[in-house]
Amino acid sequence: MKIIKSFNILNRELNYNKNIGFVPTMGSLHEGHISLIKYAKKKTKNVLVSIFVNPSQFNEKKDFIKYPRSLNKDISLLKKLNVNYLFLPTTYEIYKKGIKKRLIISNKDIILCAKHRPGHFEGVLAVISRFLQKISLKYLILGEKDFQQVYLIKKYLQKKFNIQIITCKTIRNKNKLPLSSRNILLNKFQLRKSEKISKLLFNFKKRIILNSKNIKFLNFYKNKVNNLCDNIEYFEIRSSFNLSRNISKKNFRIFIAYRQGKVRLIDNV
């Protein structure tokens, strides 16, 4: 595996070959990331993984500082997976003078996490845009755990860069909790409560699929979830196509963001 820290050297190594599967990450890799990498390896022989904790997508400085980092462990894992290239850019390499640290999104897209984390997705779009501007790529591999993030990247960047964006299902533990780098910040009691929350979401989804009128139980499930966490930021049902409130029993997802202590977690089913 070649470890590269600048766009110029990366492009020379890639020889401007577009047949690259790219998995952008912020490190602290887990089985969810591994599933994306394995998919990328099936799709193309050349796999590029990036690790960059992007400061512009954190609206709380403390959250950026506390974000889990395990670079040496990540490098060892990526070598075992036979990843071809690891990109480790510095903040200066990404945001050189004159480079925008945030892109603008429309007001109608300021919902869910975009509403509760001002500037977050603007920062995500900026860094992904920077990657796509500087690297010739064919495939961008993303996970559905942050469904809103995937939706916005597709909406604002896919046509602009003429790239194929491939999404993979969320990887969960045996108790339905989605894998996340932040999970290591939870104690055992908080972890168990979060697993119960995810199971409630799946139960609620099954009821809606059986009968769309069961959407009326939203507040019932919200109260159950509220007893299992310290704060709910949002608990909403939206379209799986465009995140609008125009839904049917075949076209919906349940979205949630909540806190266990100081740890913010998201899920969607």
Question: Which domains are present in the chain?
Answer: 2-168 (3.40.50.620), 181-268 (3.30.1300.10)
34-68 as b/e, with b when 16 or more CB fall inside 10 Å? bbbbbbbbebbebbbbbbbbbbbbbeeeeeeeebe
Helix (H) or strand (E) holding 23: strand 20-25
- Between CA 115 and CA 180 the distance in angstroms is 21
Burial status of residue 226 (CB atoms within 10 A of its CB: 0-12, 13-18, 19 or more): middle
209 confidence band (pLDDT: 50, 70, 90)? very high
Residues 67-104: pLDDT tens digits? Answer: 999 999 999 999 999 999 999 999 999 998 889 999 99
What pLDDT is recorded for position 239? 96
Q: Which residue type sits at 140?
A: L
**Amino acid in the structure at residue 36:** L
Q: What is the mean pLDDT of residues 107-127?
A: 97
268 in Cβ contact with 209 (< 8 Å): no
CB 156 within 8 A of CB 106: no
DSSP calls for 43-83: H-SEEEEEE---GGG-SSHHHHHHS---HHHHHHHHHHTT-
3-state secondary structure of 242: coil
Region 24-50: mean pLDDT is 95
Collapsed DSSP state (helix, strand, coil) of residue 95: coil
Residue 155 confidence (pLDDT)? 97
pLDDT above 80 for 18: no
Active site amino acids: 33
Convert 202-241 into a string of H (helix), E (strand) and C (coil).
HHHHHHHHHCHHHHHHHHHHHHHHHCCCCEEEEEEEECCC
pTM, entire model: 0.94
What percent of the chain has a predicted confidence (pLDDT) above 70?
100
CA distance 205 to 186: 26
Cα distances (angstroms) measured from residue 15 to each of 8, 21, 140: 10, 14, 18
Contact between residue 87 and residue 71 where contact means Cβ atoms under 8 Å apart? no
Task: Tally the C-alpha atoms within 13 A of residue 219's C-alpha that lie toward its C-beta.
Answer: 1
When pLDDT is cut at 50, 70 and 90, the band that residue 63 belongs to is confident
**Cα 165 to Cα 157: distance, rounded to the nearest angstrom:** 10
What average pLDDT does the chain have? Answer: 95
pLDDT in tens, 42-62: 999 899 999 999 999 998 888
Q: What is the DSSP string of 24-45?
A: EE-S---HHHHHHHHHHHHH-S
Mean pLDDT over 233-251 rounds to 93
